[in-house]
Amino acid sequence: MASDDLKGRDLIVTQEWSKEDLLKVLELAVKMKANRFGYTHVLKDRTFFMFFYNPSVRTRQSFECAATELGGHAQFLEPKSMRLKTKTTAGETVEDAARVMSRYACGLGIRILEDKVTKYGEGDELIREYARWADIPVVSMAHDKFHPCQGLADVMGWIEWLGPKGKFEPEVLKGKKLLVVWGHGALARSWCSVQEAILIGSRFGMNVTVAAPEGYDLDPDVLAAARKNCESQGASLEVTHSQMEAYRGAHIVYSRNWMSPDAYRDGEFHKQEEIEKAMKHTDWICDASKMALTDNAIFTHPMPIDRGHEVTDEVASGPRSSIYDVAENRLHVQKAVMALTMGNL
């Protein structure tokens, strides 16, 4: 049977799981990657609901493949195909929907990002409301604050790249410098992936540097939690506006665009304004000259990449790019999460 520690657990942010629990997921994911089709009994005849407020490429593909390879089925759901109560329309409440879903499926994944909320944190509140009423595990498939499956895939990939070939040694990350650097771009992205990277990287003893232009601060509560993580590991967290200095000595470079704290005003997401503001910072791009300042760093990104803005093609498709390995690892960590929280091993 699945671990008593994780059976039935929700995964909304990795920060709410112990490091031992995260390692349990990663170690199983490594085994599943090595023996990809050896776990087809784990979700046999079971259904995992995927509730998409926002579309995706990797998220839907990886979760559907994960459910299939575990012997189950992933069912795609969208709010527009369901009669749900909103601020402006009548319909079924979260309580009723979550309770009914719990009678049908073995787990529920929810994806809700920037343009489907009216203020930062609203997506997090919605997922937690589903988790409150559901009797099945609720997994964030990315929301406006966090992206736990991406964080796990990131860490798995970084360990594979920086550790010895053929061995999975998580301690290799301890003391390494993780640079999370803002990149200009035309997508006005949420904070979820970068905040998750900062949190989980700091849990593994990495020295974290966050570099961004003035006016692009992340959630202060998340930064405070990451700083506390670093302190407990004997590591450090630095926030700077000097990108060139930030690159020096980095072992992992995570260049990604994110919105400013002013993106939500008066109950509205000002996407076009955010894009226009971001596109003025053309010098904030990860390129070969900046990577040359690092300690032979690997480049990482959760994708989709805004090439030519967040990073150059030369770096994104270069020999030190981990992007496709990290993308593949989404499949394996999600299989491990599903197996441990809702399946039979």
The backbone torsions φ and ψ at residue 249, rounded to the nearest 5 degrees and listed phi first, read 80, 5
| Beta carbons within 8 Å of 98's beta carbon, 6+ residues apart | 108, 129, 130, 132, 133, 134
Q: Which CATH superfamily is domain 14-146+327-342 in?
A: Aspartate/ornithine carbamoyltransferase (3.40.50.1370)
DSSP 3-state percent helix, strand, coil across the chain (nearest 5): 40, 15, 40
The confidence score (pLDDT) of residue 3 equals: 45
Alpha-carbon distance of 115 to 112, in angstroms, equals: 8
The 3-state DSSP class for residue 255 equals strand
- d(CA 343, CA 90) in angstroms, rounded, equals 35
Contact assessment for residue 337 and residue 152, using Cβ atoms and an 8 Å cutoff: yes
- Strands 252-256, 73-77: pairing is unpaired
pTM assigned to the model:
0.96
Domain boundaries of the chain, sorted by first residue: 14-146+327-342, 151-322
What is the reported pLDDT for 57? 86
Q: How far from 154 is each of 76, 130, 201, CA to CA, in Å?
A: 25, 26, 9
151-322 maps to which CATH number?
3.40.50.1370
CB 207, CB 175: distance < 8 Å = yes
Quick one: tokens of 254?
């995570």
Q: Of how many residues is the chain composed?
A: 345
The pair phi, psi for residue 222, each rounded to 5°, is -70, -45
H/E stretch holding 50: strand 47-52
Tokens of 85: 């109560």
Rounded distance between C-alpha atoms, residue 311 and residue 315, angstroms = 7
Q: In what order do the strands lie in the sheet with 177-182?
A: 237-240, 207-211, 177-182, 252-256, 298-300
DSSP states along 123-137: HHHHHHHHHHH-SS-
Q: Write out the chain's pLDDT in tens, 345 residues.
A: 344 589 999 999 999 999 999 999 999 999 999 999 999 999 999 999 999 999 898 999 999 999 999 999 999 999 888 877 666 566 789 999 999 999 999 999 999 999 999 999 999 999 999 999 999 999 999 999 999 999 999 999 999 999 999 899 999 999 999 999 999 999 999 999 999 999 999 999 999 999 999 999 999 999 999 999 999 999 999 999 999 999 999 999 999 999 999 999 999 999 999 999 999 999 999 999 999 999 999 999 999 999 999 999 999 999 999 999 999 999 999 999 999 999 988
> Is it true that 14-146+327-342 and 151-322 share their CATH fold?
yes
